[in-house]
Amino acid sequence: MQLDDALERWARWCHQGQIVPTQTSSQTALLMEILATGITGPGNNGGGKGPILDGIEPRIEAALMAMAASGDVGHRRALVLRTEYLVPVLESGRAQEVRAIRLGLPLTKYRKDLMNARRALASALEGPVGRRTSTNRQS
């Protein structure tokens, strides 16, 4: 699966209520929200279905949470990636510019952070979690 496809699935997963809101003031606030509501949010898991816990979507979310917890730069990059995929913009021709303005970042920094966040995410997904293989055991 391509990274773009995986991120689109993750964005739909988030919009369907599978994850907590992304608008927080700090890493501490994000951690407090997760501890208070759990990874799937306050009881809204999309039409009474259980949350998806074994697909690519929670793995992307876990990688973004780890990125955000890694420091100020990682937090900003995770926020930029979340904004790119989760914040709708009416002016599609200027979408990245509008999102950069919302975050208070120059457009060049927004684009560089997005590129670096995507690289880090691709690397995290190719790691040990992404390389799971099934083993056939004979009894």
Contacts 24+ apart (CB under 8 A), 48-54: 51/18, 52/13, 52/18
pLDDT at position 129:
45
Look up the pTM and report it.
Answer: 0.67
pLDDT at 91: 84
Q: Residue 35's pLDDT is what?
A: 60
Give the count of alpha carbons within 13 A of 92, CB side only: 0
121: closest CA among 78, 75, 90, 76? 78
In Å, how far from its chain's centre is CA 112? 17
Low-confidence ranges of the chain (pLDDT < 70): 18-54, 127-139
pLDDT at 130: 41
